[in-house]
Amino acid sequence: MKRIRYWLMQVVGISKAETNGLISLIILLIIILIIPGFYKLSNINQYDHLTEDSIILDNLIAQIESRLNTSNKASKVNLTLLKPFNPNKASQDDLISLGIPEFISKRIINYRSKGGQFLSKTDLHKIYGVDDSLYLALAPFIQLPVNKLDYEPPKLYKVKPPSQKVEKFELNSADTSDFQKIYGIGPVLSKRIVNYRDKLGGFVNTNQIYEVYGLKDEVAFKLLVESYLDNPLDISRIKINSVDEFTLKQHPYINGVQAKTIISYRFQHGNFRSYEDLEKIIILDSIFINKMKPYLSFD
């Protein structure tokens, strides 16, 4: 360093103070030039993480767009291919030929293979992927009643007769042993009938028996022949102005979204005074309200 200072003073002809200032300036410039290089080296892993995060984010966006496109395709159906059909009888090929997306057609067949049955047009909503737009397009062609309560049980069935005559029993007061007197109903189905009845609050219409999962039509028909409803209005009712969301969504006719919306509306607008107040909630259609009328109390 002394040699550099001496050389500058002798060759350049500047003073000692000027020489020291020049050397300090040169050192400062070198530091300024080197620092960015060190910064890039020390943060190279960070840049790699940013690049990796960017790739992950791009993949997520692509997946979301793909699902949105799939959902949009599911809600579109070729109206020119539609014709009357019964979702309880149509094969997968029949459903696809109607313009229904293949994956939805497969879900309909799988639902039936597990014992599920469509009792009304609106039951098609049980199939994941059938949104409102798709349902509205299919509804006029579905050969089923609009409401489950309009469902008429089959008139003729070949049912193996019980070994002894069954004395008629009342549906809302019967226990599992009563239901097991019907040929085709064992311990599992009898318990399922009682559980479903209790969740409803009681049967108000005999056709609600057909809503019990896994109960075949011919067995349900035989059950209705051997039973009756004494006082269908004497049932448990939900106090709509005091019930909580969790309890409300336990009812078979009410899903989680409907329960949350009802509770939120009550919180914002006060207690419900009649069914007309429920009709003000957009997502509650007339079918839902008619089904729930026997089960609601406005006390």
CATH number for the domain including 179? Answer: 1.10.150.320
Q: Is residue 159 one of the residues assigned to a domain?
A: no
Please provide the average confidence, as pLDDT, over all residues in the chain.
79
The mean per-residue pLDDT over the stretch 194-209 comes to 92
Same domain, 142 and 89: yes
| 230 pLDDT tier (thresholds 50, 70, 90) | confident
Out of 14-18, 206-210, 266-270, 275-279, least confident range: 14-18
Task: Please tell me the predicted confidence (pLDDT) of residue 199.
Answer: 94
The set of residues, in sequence order, having a beta carbon less than 8 Å from that of 278 and lying 6+ positions away, is 262, 272, 284, 289, 292
- pLDDT by residue (tens digit) across 127-174? 888 877 777 778 878 888 765 544 444 444 444 444 456 689 999 999
Task: Please tell me the predicted confidence (pLDDT) of residue 83.
Answer: 82
Same domain, 34 and 95: no
Q: How far apart are CA 144 and CA 126, in angstroms?
A: 15
Q: Is residue 144 one of the residues assigned to a domain?
A: yes
- pLDDT by residue (tens digit) across 252-293? 999 999 999 999 999 999 999 999 999 999 999 888 999 999
Task: Please tell me the predicted confidence (pLDDT) of residue 156.
Answer: 42
- pLDDT by residue (tens digit) across 264-275? 999 999 999 999
Task: Please tell me the predicted confidence (pLDDT) of residue 57.
Answer: 59
Q: What Cα–Cα distance (Å) separates residue 294 from each residue in 1, 186, 246?
A: 100, 30, 20
Same domain, 94 and 145: yes
Which tokens go with 3? 């040699």
Q: Is residue 190 one of the residues assigned to a domain?
A: yes
Question: Does residue 116 contact residue 110 with C-beta atoms inside 8 Å?
Answer: no
Q: Is residue 247 one of the residues assigned to a domain?
A: yes
* Total structural domains within the chain: 4
Radius of gyration (C-alpha) of the chain in whole angstroms: 36
The mean per-residue pLDDT over the stretch 14-37 comes to 74
The mean per-residue pLDDT over the stretch 29-55 comes to 61
Question: What does 74-137 look like in DSSP terms, one character per residue?
Answer: HT---GGG---B-TTT--HHHHHHTT--HHHHHHHHHHHHTT----SGGGGGGSTT--HHHHHH
Nearest to 271 by CA among 282, 262, 259, 258: 262
Task: Please tell me the predicted confidence (pLDDT) of residue 28.
Answer: 80
| 192 pLDDT tier (thresholds 50, 70, 90) | very high
Question: Which has the higher per-residue pLDDT, 11 or 283?
Answer: 283
Out of 2-16, 117-131, 186-200, 272-286, least confident range: 2-16
pTM over 0.85: no
Q: Is residue 73 one of the residues assigned to a domain?
A: no
Task: Show the domain range for 173.
Answer: 169-228
Statement: residue 231 has pLDDT above 80 = no
Q: Is residue 164 one of the residues assigned to a domain?
A: no
Q: Is residue 283 one of the residues assigned to a domain?
A: yes
The mean per-residue pLDDT over the stretch 180-202 comes to 94
Task: Please tell me the predicted confidence (pLDDT) of residue 170.
Answer: 92
The last residue of a domain, from among 150, 178, 207: 150
Q: How far apart are CA 31 and CA 52, in angstroms?
A: 32
| 59 pLDDT tier (thresholds 50, 70, 90) | low
Name the DSSP letter for residue 16.
H
Q: How far apart are CA 5 and CA 12, in angstroms?
A: 10
| Residue entry with tokens 């509770």 | 263
Task: Please tell me the predicted confidence (pLDDT) of residue 54.
Answer: 58
- pLDDT by residue (tens digit) across 23-32? 777 788 788 7
Same domain, 217 and 251: no
| 295 pLDDT tier (thresholds 50, 70, 90) | very high
Q: Is residue 70 one of the residues assigned to a domain?
A: no
* pLDDT winner (highest mean) among 99-108, 164-173, 192-201: 192-201
Statement: residue 298 has pLDDT above 90 = yes
